[in-house]
Chains A and B, each alone.
Chain A
Amino acid sequence: MTFKDKIKFVRQNMKKNRMRIFMTVLATAMASAFLIVLASVGFGLHDTLLKDIMEQDTINEISIYGYENEAEYREINDQDISYFETLDNVRSVTRRNYLAQAIHYQINGFELSNEYSESQFVHFPSEQKAGMTLAEGDYPSKANEVVVGYHFVDQLLPTGLDPEEVYDEQGNRNAGTLFTEDIIGQTLSFEIEKYDEDDNVETKAFEVVVVGVTEEPSREWAVDTTIYMSELFQQEIEAFTEARNGNPYAFEVTDQEAERTYEIVKIYTHSLQQVEDLTTHLSEENYYAYSVANEIRQINMLFSIAKAGLIFIGTIAVLIASIGIFNTMTMAVTERAPDIGIMKAIGANPKTIKQIFLLESTYIGMIGALIGTAISYLISFAVNLGIPLILEAVFDDQLPEGLKFSSIPWSLVAIAITICLVVTIISGSRPAKKATQIDVLKAMRRDI
């Protein structure tokens, strides 16, 4: 019997009991739609999260937190930096240190306390190569020139202002408290302290000029209030404090601490793949290397588990639907026993009989799975459209853009159809086997 004839035969048989077949297909479709929609939430949220990560500026960067082997732990030093710069695919290696004192800045009648701002010593050429861009002005060319973060100006308050008066009742800044002049060319004055063993303090006044403002960070919520100082200026401060990074307690510094090390070291590559490879490589060389590649790997693992769990729950629904298929096929075999008997009598091979019934249950499963897939695309679409509206109405809050609750990739469709087919074939196999065992003589006597 040719495959085409088998299909034709199966379709004719299915037409004999449309209602029963329809209900069985419906149950299968609902089960597979349940499976797909359930798992699609895992896929959707995973996609959203990954997309979010991919949009970060940090996608091509690796943070290095130090070096540790069996013998020692140490911070990253100039030798390490030079080594990183020799590695393949490295675009830039940035290194920064914090100014190790709480500074109070004065700027043209305004002030800034260090609580709201960080002062960092940076290596501008590598920062530039790594992608630091300026919204205004230029990079420093002299020791006493600095670049400030995009939000730096917002942190400035008139000198001596009562903190109560900064905001009005609505929580907006009072107009008079804003620094409205051009920040470029302004002079920041501050004092650096230095203590001796007896707690005697010596102070020295410094002045720096703002020559540039960094670009606004690409993520809406990120705030950059940093004051970026050059390495030349770092040397001036260190000349006074006689300790690294303006540490005011020079007398406490050990030999080891006296070496030039960097607190914030980042390696920039060209692609996420390179980030992944390099992170692995550096970890193997005993550096503490962290990048989004690690994060992505963890997220992927977490979501793989979540997706597997959701698919498992969905599969239970398909298994329940398969009881219906089993039932339908058992009834079909019983009803058609006389016909099967005749077919066997005139020479139908038991294998053919089995294939016909397996084909019928597969057909039901297949149609069910396809209808289920179509339904789940509709539900998924509705969910992605509806849930944000509901959430926004309930919580009165704007949801992040591009948030997707449900996503149905082809792989999920393939998984669902495969599960459906496997389950239906299994549930159809017993009735099919029963069909092959029908006794010709009993069937022809019509007493089955």
Chain B
Amino acid sequence: MITVKNLSHHFEMGKKGQKTILPVLHDINFSVEAGEVVAIIGRSGSGKSTLLNLISGFIRPVSGQIIINHTEVSTFTEAQFADFRLDQLGFIFQNFQLIPSMTAYQNVELPLILKGMPEKDRQALTKQTLARVGLGQFHNHYPSELSGGQQQRVSIARALVLNPPLILADEPTGSLDSETEASLLDFIKQLNQELGITFLIITHDKEVAKIGNRTIELQDGKLIEGGQLS
């Protein structure tokens, strides 16, 4: 599902003339098979988010290749990557990233609108997906009127609604209490088993990482342990 080859990244900081280079990822190689749940673990600042942002196309790698679902994405233009994200990727963020002026229903419907789906088809699909995450009663609630766990479910519904083969999650439980965390992890497991969706989950928490069939550890920008080591 995902193949990362010789991926390196650094950030350039400071003004022109006195630039400093902050290396973040060094020659990363790994792959994720379809149907897997893979956890990337590492200390804060080890480069986990950077790795996921590269795979998501939010930033572009300095060098290396990223192949998702047999498609080389590292050479995409911004517009191509946007279309690819809409089609192939679902996202779960630490702080949910729901649009505050839209109801739960509207937030989940948004990807369908972007896809250009007609209103009739959207309705059924949105309702069905909200029901699936257990929020059938909360269509007209705004994010501010929902608990953290409920908001994260809305964001999962939004990630699911176009039925992507792969969902990327950056610290999905980072803003949740431990009880909510557990039920969310169960739910992810369930989605993986029932729908066969591949998950790549980032966490700094060893407990959370247990959800993975496999764990990859990042330390100072290098893969040091996990499935395929470089």
Contact = CB atoms under 8 A, between A and B. Distances in A.
A49 interface: no
Contacts of B99: 339, 342-343
A440 interface: yes
A399 interface: no
Contacts of B115: 1
Give chain A's interface residue range (CB within 8 Å of chain B). Answer: 20 to 34
Nearest to B90: A346
Contact of B114 (A339, A352, A440, A441): A352
B76 interface: no
Contacts of A9: 113
A223 interface: no
Contacts of B118: 2
B114 A343 contact: yes
B79 interface: yes
Contact of A345 (B78, B84, B97): B97
A344 B113 contact: no
Contacts of B111: 346-347
B188 interface: no
B101 A342 contact: no
Contacts, number: 61
B91 A1 contact: no
A444 B82 contact: no
Contacts of A2: 116, 118
B87 interface: yes
A444 B171 CA distance: 14
Interface in A331-359: 339, 342-352
A1 B113 contact: yes
Contact of B59 (A16, A343, A349, A441): A441
Given A339-B101, A441-B53, A444-B97, A350 B59 contact: no
A349 B79 contact: yes
A2 B118 CA distance: 8
A182 interface: no
In this complex, the interface size class of chain B, counting residues with CB under 8 Å from chain A, is 20 to 34
Nearest to A340: B99
A347 B98 CA distance: 14
A344 B59 CA distance: 13
A422 B182 CA distance: 56
A164 interface: no
Contacts of B114: 1, 343, 346-349, 352
B110 interface: yes
B85 interface: yes
Nearest to A445: B95
Nearest to B161: A346
Contacts of B84: 347
Nearest to B101: A16
A447 to B, nearest CB: 13
Contacts of A344: 82
A347 B79 CA distance: 9
Nearest to A15: B101
B142 interface: no
Contacts of A1: 113-116
B53 A346 contact: no
Interface in B73-123: 78-79, 82-87, 89, 91, 93, 97-99, 101, 110-111, 113-116, 118
Contacts of B153: none
Interface string B189-228: 0000000000000000000000000000000000000000
B158 interface: yes
B58 interface: yes
B97 A350 contact: no
Contacts of B91: 345-346
Given A1-B116, A339-B99, A351-B79, 9 more contacts: A1-B113, A1-B115, A339-B101, A346-B86, A346-B158, A347-B82, A347-B83, A347-B85, A350-B79
Interface of B: 53, 56, 58-59, 78-79, 82-87, 89, 91, 93, 97-99, 101, 110-111, 113-116, 118, 158-159
When A and B form their complex, which 7 residue pairs have the shortest distance between CB atoms, in order from nearest? A347-B86, A347-B85, A349-B82, A440-B58, A339-B99, A342-B97, A5-B113
10 contacts: A1-B114, A9-B113, A342-B97, A345-B58, A347-B86, A349-B82, A349-B83, A350-B79, A441-B53, A441-B59
